[in-house]
Amino acid sequence: MTTLATRPTAYRPPSLLSVYAVRAGVELRTFMREREALVFIFAFPVLLLVIFGAVFGSQDVDGGVTFAQVFVAGMIASGLFTSSFQNLAISIPIERDSGALKRLAGTPMPRSAYFVGKIVLIAVIAAVQQVLLLTVGVLFYGLNLPSEPSRWVTYAWVSVLGVATCTLLGIAATSLVKNGKTAPAVISPIAIVLQFISGVFFVFSDLPSYLQTIASIFPLKWMTQGMRSVFLPDAYQAQEPTGTWEHGRVALVLGIWLVVGLFVAVRTFRWRNKADG
Amino acid sequence: MTDAAIRVTGLRKTYKGHAAVDGVDLEVERGEVFALLGPNGAGKSTTVEILEGYRRRDGGEVSVLGHDPADATAAWKSRIGIVLQRVDDLAQSSELTVREWVGAMAAYYPDPLPPDEAIELVGLRDKRDARASSLSGGQRRRLDVALGIVGRPELLFLDEPTTGFDPEARRQFWGLIESLAEAGTTILLTTHYLDEAEHLADRVAVINAGKIVEIGTPQALGGRANAAATVRWIGPDGPQRVTTDVPTKTVLELAARFDGEVPELVVERPSLEDVYLRMIGSPS
């Protein structure tokens, strides 16, 4: 019992890396033990892929590809978006309501550690989900894995930049959500509408031009376009609004949203529920 | 005097024009168990959350372990432990085990207790590998305390720690708090239960409508120690009661009158509850 009140003379915090590793472990373990969330996050996009693929998959679309190929590319982008943005924007407010964030805020844990834990979690979820979607796409829907290294480079930066941007936007969005109960009602419609207008469920160039214009403001449209540039033949470029893959603009729009997300997240993140003052 | 664990002078906090804390002064010595009593909305939790660094004050001076909690640094936070009033994270979302929880929490502190030792201290050794969500309410509260003490705090905040406990669980919990106090931890406790304050606290402050009504030992609060006593017994004409400043004399007289045993003799001073209810202006 005498061990309780002894104190070190100078404050020597535990190494940042060790705290980051602990937080990553907490997030991953918690996620893997929550069966329902696990099934939802991994099975839902695959299920969508299977249903839409079965119904519309064999239809040819302009540009010499099947709808299934366009759709799989869209779902690959969409999976990155939902597993980061939608996941965090809904789960963080629930944690905030439960007092989990308040508890952490009362400890000497560096606050960055909480976000690092989330980022590691999202990275793992996104990676597993990508493997699932790519596997199902290749096996059942005629998705061609690119052979050129340059396309894999595109895949790498679009997915990393896309996940990073959507992760920060998801964290930023938690400030807009009053509490965990209302989070799904606020966030899910945003996510679903964006998926409909950003070239996931429909061929983007088939959408009315005003919807295309609206979608072009948001990141998901640029992520699906980036993924189409990876998985569809170059001939399909003609179907894109400007007739090219627009890699520069994909990077620019995602980059801008990344900065916006980072700024809003850092400035507005709350560790306590509003009802708690 | 400079070594006080907590020193508060003229603390004020206003919400939308309503003064939740309205000029509170108090001082908690190192090693002391200090209880803050008051009805709901009296300003207890607001005061405690300002001391914990969660809330900003609107006025007054606050020093906790020699630092202003408004500029809480990691070094300062490593010296305090916080057991919050209501947290559902253990119940709701936690698929982590007791050991994983305590182990993760220990990793945030510079010089923590070994997790198993903290678990042992709160009496959860048998539940070490159980998931937090499977614990009973009382066990979960013990885990809250384990999480609060694993960093070896000099000062521990306990905000209504035993609300919802059955009497046996409360007794056990009190034993835990006493052992922490014996080990030298300063404890600031808020509670609704007067018996809890009386049992655990060296001193008690009663707060009402944002102001401190009185600070004293539980035994002397509200002039209890010197208050008039009530002597009750059963006489030939039924129950009798006398209020007196000299109860010993009354009892001696009664003993003489009954020539020995006085039937159903009771001598009582006002209970802590009586003086508390009087202080907060509630009819007892």
Q: What is the ipTM of this complex?
A: 0.85
Higher pLDDT, A3 or B18: B18
Q: What is the 3-state secondary structure (H, E, C) of chain B?
A: CCCCCEEEEEEEEEECCEEEEEEEEEEECCCCEEEEECCCCCCHHHHHHHHCCCCCCCEEEEEECCECHHHCCHHHHCCEEEECCCCCHHHHCCCCEHHHHHHHHHCCCCCCCCHHHHHHHCCCHHHCCCEHHHCCHHHHHHHHHHHHHCCCCCEEEEECCCCCCCHHHHHHHHHHHHHHHHCCCEEEEEECCHHHHHHHCCEEEEEECCEEEEEECCCCHHHHHHCCEEEEEEECCEEEEEEECCHHHHHHHHHHHHCCCCCCCEEECCCHHHHHHHHCCCCC
- Probe site for chain B from A11, A30, A96 (most B CB atoms < 10 A): A11
pTM of the full predicted structure? 0.87
Q: For chain B (length 284 residues), average pLDDT per consecutive 10?
A: 84 90 93 92 90 93 94 94 82 82 96 94 92 88 92 94 81 89 93 88 93 89 80 89 88 88 87 82 63
Assess whether pLDDT exceeds 80 at residue A78. yes
pLDDT (0 to 100) of residue B2: 55
Q: Does B94 touch chain A (CB under 8 A)?
A: yes
B-chain residues near A11 (CB < 8 A): 74-75, 78, 110
Q: Does B175 touch chain A (CB under 8 A)?
A: no
**A108–B75: do the CB atoms touch at under 8 Å?**
yes
Which stretch of A183-192, A210-219, B4-13, B134-143 has the lowest confidence by average pLDDT?
B134-143
Q: Does A9 touch chain B (CB under 8 A)?
A: no
Average pLDDT over residues A25-51: 86
